[in-house]
Amino acid sequence: MVDSSPTIEGADACGLCRSPLLQGRFVRAEASSFFVLCSRECSQAVARAQRRERWAARRESLRRLTIGIIFAGAYLAPHQGPPRAARHPARSTTAAMFPVGSAGGTSTGPAILPEGWLPPDWESDAGALAALGRDTWIHPLAGPFRRMPIRDSRVFGAVRPGDRPAECRNGHCGVDLGGEIWGEHVHAVHDGVVEWVKRGVNPDRGGQFVKISHRGGTVFTQYFHLAAIPRGLERGSIVKSGDVIGLVGDTGVKESGPHLHFAISIKPGKDWPERYIDPEPLIALWPLRVPVDGSEIGLVNTVAPVGAPLGSAPLNAGHKRKQAKAERGSKAGKARAVDADDGAKESPAPAGDSEGESESSEPSSDE
């Protein structure tokens, strides 16, 4: 398409076909410019060419918008977990992943840790933290900033109503993290097997949550108040460190905004009592998973600044007697477990026998 001369009077040839303007002039105005044409056919040809250009521009804009929506959906959609073939392994396969320290193979029940993995004073928080510090874990919320409890009501042992385990001090059995972004991805902190999944309405037990068993059923992590849980994540599903197991939400929360309630408990053997420990000193040191360019791909940052723990809440006077009673019961349970282990060594079970899997009680919520 060729522009005509600046003025109508100065035009002596058609702006499209360059034919002489002998019979008449057809003037077509476009914004601040115009074309002098020789016939109605040339005018219609110009109009068709301009329509094609406009439709081509619209198609290009639509293509770019579609690509943007696809990429945004891929980023915002929750991770669907491991492949379907690995979501529901047989019990024997799951147990085989966690060898028992004794000679002769595996057990389908909660395994006892290899000798020396937990120190003799595992009942104390210091002993448990020292043992967990020997393994590789990651923070449950992605970086680049480390999320820690931001006030006293979010720390381990803060005041919560109801009958709670004695080691939880005044009631809060974990720490509350994040909440700045509703729907933020929550990551499994370590390789493990899903122990418990709760979906749907659950206002009195912490809303939707996931409990994961690690190290052969000797360490458990719990993730409460989730807004959603990936489809296909069920009891027995195998998860890897960093897998998305839920989204930060406010299900089951009664008096605060959205956040993740994160808890750790330990159970060194089948006959040992399960005990909650304060996870704050651990998450202050665990590496952060930092997404790359906002994608699902993430790098583990091991040089992130260390967090500043607020420390567990001081024990209120009314809970001291309850905690002393629980400590006596814990020591008695440990003694019974040691006696059971000694009896098992003296009278070994017949070949091929194994302990069945015990059903664990439902985890306690923080709200």
256 and 174 Cβ atoms separated by less than 8 Å: no
Looking at the DSSP assignment, which residues form a beta bridge with residue 208? 226
C-alpha separations of 274 from 98, 99, 168, 234, 360 in Å: 19, 20, 12, 22, 10
Residue 125's CB: how many other CB atoms inside 10 A? 17
Which helix or strand (DSSP H or E) is residue 246 part of?
strand 244-248
Find the distance separating the first CA and the last CA of the chain, reported in whole Å.
72
- Tracing tokens 């120190």 back to the chain, one arrives at 119
The pLDDT value recorded for residue 152 is 92
- Tracing tokens 């195998």 back to the chain, one arrives at 238
- Catalogue all structural domains in the chain, each as residue range(s) with its CATH number: 1-77 (no CATH), 84-344 (2.70.70.10)
C-alpha separations of 275 from 37, 236, 246, 268 in Å: 90, 22, 24, 10
The pLDDT value recorded for residue 290 is 84
Nearest C-alpha neighbor of 167 from the set 359, 329, 308: 329
What is the full per-residue pLDDT of the chain (367 aa) written as tens digits? Answer: 444 444 545 557 786 777 777 666 677 776 666 667 777 778 788 788 888 888 888 888 888 888 878 767 665 655 555 555 444 444 433 333 333 333 333 333 333 334 334 555 555 667 677 767 667 799 999 988 899 999 999 999 999 888 888 889 898 999 999 999 899 999 999 999 999 999 988 888 889 999 999 988 889 999 999 999 999 999 999 999 999 999 999 998 988 889 999 999 998 777 888 999 999 999 999 999 887 776 666 677 777 889 999 999 898 876 555 566 666 665 655 555 555 555 444 433 333 333 333 334 566 655 5
What pTM does this model have? 0.59
Query: Is the peptide bond between 144 and the residue preceding it cis, with omega within 30 degrees of 0?
Result: yes
Contacts of residue 258, Cβ cutoff 8 Å, sequence gap at least 6: 179, 182, 225, 227, 248, 249, 250
